[in-house]
Homo-oligomer: A and B are copies of this chain.
Amino acid sequence: MFLNIHFFMDQALALAKKASDLGEVPVGAVLVHNNKVVLENHNRMRQMRSPLAHAEFLLLQEAHQSFFQYNLSQCDLFVTLEPCGMCATAIALSRLNAVYFGAYDPKHGGIEHGTRVFDQKNHYFKPKIVLAGVRASICEKILNDFFFSLRF
A residues sitting closer than 8 Å to B (CB atoms) are: 45, 48-53, 57, 60-61, 64-65, 68-70, 84-90, 93-95, 107-108, 110, 113-117, 120, 122-124
Task: Give the most central of A51, A61, A113, A114: most B CB within 10 Å.
Answer: A51
Distance of A61 Cα from B108 Cα, bound (Å): 20
Chain copies in the assembled complex: 2
The A contact surface, by secondary structure, is loop
Cβ-defined contact, A64 with B89, below 8 A: no
Distance of A68 Cα from B88 Cα, bound (Å): 26
A48-B64, A114-B120, A115-B117 given. 8 additional CB < 8 A pairs? A45-B70, A49-B64, A49-B69, A85-B89, A86-B86, A86-B93, A89-B89, A115-B120
Given contacts A120-B115, A122-B114, contact A65 B94 (CB under 8 A): no
Cβ-defined contact, B52 with A117, below 8 A: no
